[in-house]
């Protein structure tokens, strides 16, 4: 009697796993992943890009504000003339 009950339980477990395995396989292969994690990664990348652009703009502004060598020495830069 005990052997028959165990066989029924084993068959039930096998049948359930057989029916659920295509669903589990399909769920794993869709690759949906965590939407929140993807959005957080996108936001982090956008912030890094924005910070890099701001740093580049600040460096260009600082470079434009620095005097050239001739200005620092108090020497006037030579004027270009159109000679033909």
Residue 77 near residue 70 (C-beta atoms within 8 A): yes
Residue 76 near residue 70 (C-beta atoms within 8 A): yes
Average pLDDT over residues 55-59: 92
68 contacts: CB under 8 Å, gap ≥ 6: 77
Query: What does the pLDDT read at residue 44?
Result: 93
pLDDT above 80 (res 57) = yes
- The overall pTM is greater than 0.85: no
Query: What does the pLDDT read at residue 16?
Result: 79
pLDDT band at 27 (very low <50, low <70, confident <90, very high): low
The tokens for 26 are: 């399909």
Going from the C-alpha of 75 to that of each of 47, 56, 66, 69, 78, the distances in angstroms are: 44, 30, 15, 9, 9
Give the whole-number percent of the chain exceeding pLDDT 70.
61
- Cα 75 from Cα 69, distance rounded (Å): 9
pLDDT above 60 (res 32) = no
């Amino acid at each position: 009697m005990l052997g028959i009950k165990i066989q029924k339980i084993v068959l039930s477990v096998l049948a359930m796993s057989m029916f659920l395995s295509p669903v589990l396989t399909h769920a794993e292969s869709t690759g949906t992943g965590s939407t929140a994690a993807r959005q957080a990664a996108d936001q982090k990348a956008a912030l890094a890009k924005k910070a890099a652009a701001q740093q580049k703009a600040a460096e260009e502004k600082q470079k434009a504000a620095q005097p050239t060598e001739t200005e620092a020495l108090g020497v006037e830069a030579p004027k270009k003339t159109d000679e033909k």
